[in-house]
Amino acid sequence: MVASSFPPGQSFSAIYGPVKSWRYGRSLGIDPIGIISTCSFNCVYCQLGNIQQRTSERQIFVPTEQIICELQAIPTAGYLDIDVVTFSGSGEPTLALNLGEMLAIAKKITNRAIVVLTNSSKLDDPAVRQALTTADIVAVKLDAISSNQLRHINQPTETIDLPQILAGIEQFRREYSGILAIQTMVLANWTADIQNNYIRFLERIKPDEIQFNTPSRPRILTRTLESRGNEHSENRSSSYQYFKCITADKLTALAEKINNLTKIPVRYASRT
């Protein structure tokens, strides 16, 4: 059990935002993970800061009843200026055992498109793929195309390896009928080998789109619930770790090259 760094008595709200998403417009966030950041990765750029509980075990973190109560507390008119409802929050949403029922309930109550952002590490699990069938859009993370990259960028739990992730994405692609996006954080220039391996994999799975980005803000060093969305700004009291990223020009060139070669739509956003 990991101790929370939040002040005693701080209440947890699973719903946050709406936040402005560069991909999906105005997004109402639902956090199925809770106060303690929990993920099977500990990405070097994670906006949540250092992950407090790194695990691949699925469990119930936030009761479905809490999600229902919070969603029902929003008047119907409150959903009118929301483009999508996004499951992300304080870690990896597919670790939540009740994800499937939460997606179905959120869709019913909000009548909005449901998006799930996942790190792909659980897509080899049939129960996870089944839970995701209700989502309209699933954005799956693929930052690494070599085991070395995976270890350095995503720092997964010991039980996760790259072949398992790639096989999980491929299987999910075969089964899922919604919109599948591959989301890739590009931190440094890619070698020719990395580019070729990435392109070969994408040509095999043919996602509906590719999303390239660089970290949109520095990494927070002290965990706060605000780091779930884009509500915190750098002039608050928290400390940050700054990254030197690939330049906007190079990201654009990479995105255009991959689009030209694969004919898959590529969207990209850069902080630099």
- How many chain residues bind ligand SF4 (CB under 6 A)? 11
- Residue 43 in the binding site for ligand SF4 (CB under 6 A): yes
Q: Which is nearer to ligand SF4, 79 or 243 (CB)?
A: 243
What x-and-dash track marks residues 114-133 binding ligand SF4 by CB under 6 A? -----x--------------
Residue closest to 95 by CA, chosen among 114, 113, 118: 118
As a whole number of angstroms, the distance between CA 6 and CA 264 comes to 43
Alpha helices (runs of H) in 147-247, residue ranges in sequence order: 147-149, 162-175, 192-205
- Residue 165 in the binding site for ligand SF4 (CB under 6 A): no
Instruction: Identify the three-state secondary structure at position 24.
Output: coil
Instruction: Identify the three-state secondary structure at position 151.
Output: helix
Q: Could you tell me the two tokens for 68?
A: 């229902």
Alpha-carbon separation of residue 28 from 60, 81, 105, 141 (angstroms): 21, 10, 14, 20
Residues 51-70 that bind ligand SF4 (CB under 6 A): 51
- Residue 95 in the binding site for ligand SF4 (CB under 6 A): no
- Residue 91 in the binding site for ligand SF4 (CB under 6 A): yes
As a whole number of angstroms, the distance between CA 16 and CA 34 comes to 12
Contact residue for ligand SF4 among 34, 36, 85, 92 (CB under 6 A):
92
Contact residue for ligand SF4 among 16, 41, 212, 268 (CB under 6 A):
41
Smallest distance, ligand SF4 to C-beta of residue 48, A: 5
- Could you list the residues that contact ligand SF4 (CB under 6 A)? 39, 41-43, 46, 48, 51, 91-92, 119, 141
